[in-house]
């Protein structure tokens, strides 16, 4: 067996192995993917389509990390880096969604304190939002009672009432408008929309405005093979997720073209390649794939 064939066969095996584990966006127009055709209503959100799934949308209609589940009333829940977010709006055209932290819904005193972090391969923060900082376990550096401020609020943690402070951005804790330095045990960063941040920055800040800002949420831009999906829809197909066998099929087709050049290969190598290519339909059927759309 010549080295050329060995190299090709090795590439075939490695590619096939990788494709078994890497999800990709597929363009389909029939079979089981017909269920993905019409955008659905998920809780209170209209027009739910790729990359989202859950409820009456099977997992192959969406992307792995975009499941909408555990609905709270009329609001679906999306889990990002093991944290739950209420989905308030979805804009499939702009590939954006508005979410609010579940742990800060109707409260400014969450049980566990953590920053708002994302899987940056799938989501990005909107440039139109701004971080606010919530400081917990706060007291003045002088040990004197903190002056009255609309930016101060109380939280009860483990039965103990402690002072908490709201600041805009990620500044060191001090009571806005007073210059009083504050020492706090911990803090968290939470994005809010720019208008809400502006309302919280001035003397009109209040616990009610803070709760409204947290409940109004913030925007995210998602990325789930957006370009491929747009091309798929323009061609009349449906977007879904399955093994990325299209790459393998294209690779094998290109190899077939190259290796059939008689000046490069011996007849026995061509026969070996032909045997491999005959396995493609069987492999495709075994994986339960149906490549019927155009991309």
Model pLDDT, residue 99 = 97
Angle (nearest 5°) at CA 117 between 83 and 241: 70
**Helix, strand, or coil here: 29?**
coil
C-alpha torsion sign, points 281, 287, 290, 295: negative
Residue 154 has pLDDT above 70, yes or no: yes
Model pLDDT, residue 212 = 96
Q: Average of pLDDT values for 261-282?
A: 46
Give the confidence band of 43 by pLDDT, cuts at 50, 70, 90: low
Model pLDDT, residue 269 = 45
Q: pLDDT for 166-217, tens place per residue?
A: 888 766 666 666 667 778 888 999 999 999 999 998 888 899 999 999 999 9
Q: pLDDT for 10-23, tens place per residue?
A: 545 444 444 333 44
More confident residue, 71 or 165: 165
CA distances from 119 to 8, 52, 97, 223 (A): 36, 16, 15, 11
Give me the phi and psi of 270, to 5 degrees please.
-60, -40
Angle (nearest 5°) at CA 212 between 206 and 218: 125
Distance from C-alpha of 130 to C-alpha of 81, rounded to nearest angstrom:
20
Model pLDDT, residue 72 = 63
Model pLDDT, residue 178 = 64
Residue 250 has pLDDT above 70, yes or no: no
Percentage of residues in the chain having pLDDT higher than 70: 61
Residue 59 has pLDDT above 90, yes or no: no
Taking residue 160's Cβ as centre, other Cβ atoms within 10 Å add up to 8
Mean residue pLDDT of the chain comes to 74
Cis peptide before 51 (omega within 30 of 0): yes
Model pLDDT, residue 293 = 36
Model pLDDT, residue 50 = 87
Percentage of residues in the chain having pLDDT higher than 90: 29
Angle (nearest 5°) at CA 286 between 281 and 288: 100
Tokens at residue 181, please?
A: 């330095």
More confident residue, 4 or 136: 136
More confident residue, 219 or 284: 219
Q: Which uninterrupted H or E stretch holds 48?
A: strand 45-48
Strands 218-222 and 123-125: antiparallel
């Amino acid at each position: 067996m010549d080295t050329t064939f060995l190299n090709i066969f090795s590439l075939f095996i490695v590619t096939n192995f990788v494709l078994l584990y890497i999800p990709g966006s597929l363009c389909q127009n029939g079979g089981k993917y017909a269920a993905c055709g019409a955008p659905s209503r998920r809780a209170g959100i209209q027009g739910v389509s790729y990359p989202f799934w859950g409820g009456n949308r099977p997992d192959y209609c969406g992307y792995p990390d975009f499941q909408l589940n555990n609905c709270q009333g009329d609001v679906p829940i999306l889990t990002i880096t093991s944290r739950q977010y209420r989905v308030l709006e979805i804009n499939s055209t702009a590939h954006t969604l508005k979410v609010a932290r579940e742990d800060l819904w109707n409260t400014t005193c969450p049980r566990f304190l953590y920053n708002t972090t994302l899987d940056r391969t799938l989501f990005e923060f909107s440039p139109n939002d701004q971080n606010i900082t919530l400081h917990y376990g706060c007291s003045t550096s002088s040990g004197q009672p903190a002056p009255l401020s609309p930016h101060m609020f109380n939280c009860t943690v483990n039965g103990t009432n402690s002072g908490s402070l709201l600041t805009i951005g990620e500044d060191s804790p001090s009571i806005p408008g007073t210059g009083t330095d504050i020492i706090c045990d911990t803090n968290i960063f939470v994005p809010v929309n720019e208008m809400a941040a502006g309302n919280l920055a001035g003397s009109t800040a209040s616990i009610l405005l803070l709760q409204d800002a947290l409940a109004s949420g913030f925007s995210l831009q998602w990325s789930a093979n957006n370009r491929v999906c747009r091309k798929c829809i323009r061609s009349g197909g449906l977007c879904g997720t399955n093994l990325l066998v299209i790459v393998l099929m294209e690779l094998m087709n290109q190899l077939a073209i190259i290796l059939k050049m008689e000046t490069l290969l011996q007849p026995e190598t061509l026969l070996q390649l032909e045997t491999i290519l005959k396995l493609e339909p069987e492999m495709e059927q075994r994986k339960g794939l149906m490549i019927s759309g155009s991309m």
